[in-house]
């Protein structure tokens, strides 16, 4: 197996944190983002979307989406379950994980506008657009705030892929861009600080 990644990319980090939590060691290939390696002919042959992560299986099959990669690995390594343990807990984790995915997408659009760091994605960042987009981000943060309440983790008392997903976008905003993302959501703020102490969250 080989994981193509950007060490600090939000979506690759969903997989990286998951692997750390599970204690699974998968060989990694760090793509050169600045050099555009993810748009090279070689990489596009593996992942036509030119995005990361991609997991190349031992059979040579590329899995080109972070959630699909996690699902594949969970089937191979069922110990320390991270997508629930029965039909009910699985549906709860998946609902939160999908909400987390929406949060990632909305937040990335916001980041493209609130920072100047993604010229290839947004050549004309606009704070006005960013403000509007942040409303859509807040909509999801509000739901997660209510859901999390007093839980140690988003889906209850054990870490799940929902934590990996939501944590990754928090970490990108807070640690890579120094933005007070979710700081006015006290339960999420406490959840983030708590999860940040875990070795899996090392940045």
Ligand X SMILES: N[C@@H](CCC(=O)N[C@@H](CS)C(=O)NCC(=O)O)C(=O)O
Q: Interface mask (CB under 6 A) for ligand X, residues 21-40, using x and -?
A: -----------------x--
Q: Tokens 């928090």 — which residue? A: 170
Residues contacting 24, CB < 8 A, separation 6+:
73, 77
**Burial environment of residue 54 by CB neighbours within 10 A (0 to 12, 13 to 18, 19 or more):** buried
- State yes or no: residue 51 binds ligand X (CB under 6 A): yes
- State yes or no: residue 52 binds ligand X (CB under 6 A): yes
Residue nearest to ligand X (CB): 51
Cα separation, 172 vs 185, whole angstroms: 17
**Residues touching ligand X: how many (CB under 6 A)?**
12
Q: Interface mask (CB under 6 A) for ligand X, residues 62-101, using x and -?
A: ---xxx----------------------------------
Judged by CB under 6 A, the stretch of 9-17, 127-135, 151-159, 190-198 that binds ligand X is 9-17
Closest CA to 93 of 151, 23, 53, 20: 151
Footprint on this chain of ligand X (rule: CB under 6 A): 6, 9-11, 38, 50-53, 65-67
């Amino acid at each position: 197996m080989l994981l193509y990644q950007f060490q600090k990319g939000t979506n690759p980090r969903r997989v990286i944190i998951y692997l750390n939590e599970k204690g699974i060691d998968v060989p990694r290939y760090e793509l050169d983002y600045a050099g555009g390696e993810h748009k090279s002919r070689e990489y596009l042959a593996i992942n036509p979307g030119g995005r990361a992560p991609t997991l190349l299986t031992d059979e040579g099959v590329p899995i080109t989406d972070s959630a699909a990669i996690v699902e594949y690995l969970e089937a191979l390594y069922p110990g320390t379950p991270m997508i629930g343990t029965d039909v009910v807990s699985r549906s709860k984790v998946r609902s939160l994980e999908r909400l987390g995915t929406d949060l990632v997408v909305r937040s990335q659009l916001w980041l493209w506008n609130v920072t100047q760091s993604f010229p290839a994605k947004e050549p004309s960042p606009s704070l006005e657009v960013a403000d509007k987009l942040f409303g859509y981000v807040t909509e999801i943060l509000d739901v997660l705030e209510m859901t999390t309440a007093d839980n140690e983790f988003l889906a209850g008392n054990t870490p799940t892929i929902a934590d990996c997903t939501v944590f990754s976008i928090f970490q990108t905003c807070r640690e890579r861009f120094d933005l007070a993302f979710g700081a006015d959501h006290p339960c999420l703020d406490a959840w983030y600080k708590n999860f940040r102490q875990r070795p899996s969250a090392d940045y």
